[in-house]
Amino acid sequence: MTKTTPLLVGLDIDGTIMTADEFISSAVREAITELRLQGHHVVLSTGRPLVAVLPVLKDLGIDSGWAVCSNGSVTAHIDPRQPGGFVLEHVMEFPAGPAVDALTRHLPDAVIGLEEVGVGYAISQDFGSARLHGDHTVRDVSQMRTMTTPRVVVARASHAPQEFRALMADMGLCDSYYSIADEHWMDLAPQGITKAYGLERLRRQLQVSPEHTVAVGDADNDIEMLQWAGRGVAMGHAEASVIAAADEVTWPIIDDGLAPVLESLLTT
């Protein structure tokens, strides 16, 4: 990997660029700025919805390029001349009705949210969490059945029965589980749609060769991205499965582990 060739650098946000209290170090900020000045493509690649990525882009001074959001379901072209500062370049949506029906039948206590790209979520009731980004509009389940969405977010889904997961697979959807503030959450999205999917589309579009790709992440939803990259780097605090998917491991975020990785890509 030569430093004179433009790189495609995919960076997770939470736990990689940004700490849990939303702190970004000056070293990371400066390295991202310098990489972009040297002509490299720095792409935030995240599970966050677009509405929650835009403030991070602004904070980092990234006013052009692309962002891969919603775990690969949404790719936005960043352009301050456009309304909202972006153009939707690619969105992978699916009809929400079958998933909503299955959730209400198999997980009647679950709280359902359907992502509305660039806006926030349509929700069945209050999630009670500040981590559900954007505007929230409470809608009747009958309304939610008629919507399309790139992702269904579910709270109070700690005991999804096996038949529910099989039903999702039959629908072409996959589920992933995670915790926010000690509450069990679940995402439903189309099978095969990952951060790697979004980054690979950009790689081809930008005509970057596979060996000139870099990715850094810390969570289960980063595994495919790390495996995809020519150089996949796991944060030092990541779980064993994430570390196993990477080519190398850097320091944990508490020790500013992203900074030396980015600095190693710069031409001095």
Domains of the chain: 8-91+193-263 (3.40.50.1000), 94-190 (3.30.1240.10)
* Bridge partner residues of 231 (DSSP): 214
This model's pTM is above 0.85: yes
Confidence of residue 72 (pLDDT cuts 50, 70, 90): very high
Render pLDDT for 131-140 as a digit per residue (tens, 0 to 9).
Answer: 788 999 999 9
Task: Note the pLDDT of residue 8.
Answer: 98
- Mean pLDDT for 199-206 is 98
Candidates 247, 244, 245; CA nearest to 230 is: 247
Confidence of residue 90 (pLDDT cuts 50, 70, 90): very high
pLDDT of 179 over the 90 cut: no
Instruction: Report the alpha-carbon distance of residue 220 to residue 206 in Å, rounded.
Output: 27
Task: Note the pLDDT of residue 3.
Answer: 56
Candidates 174, 176, 191, 100; CA nearest to 140 is: 100
Q: Sign of torsion, CA 245 249 254 259? A: negative
Mean pLDDT of the chain: 93
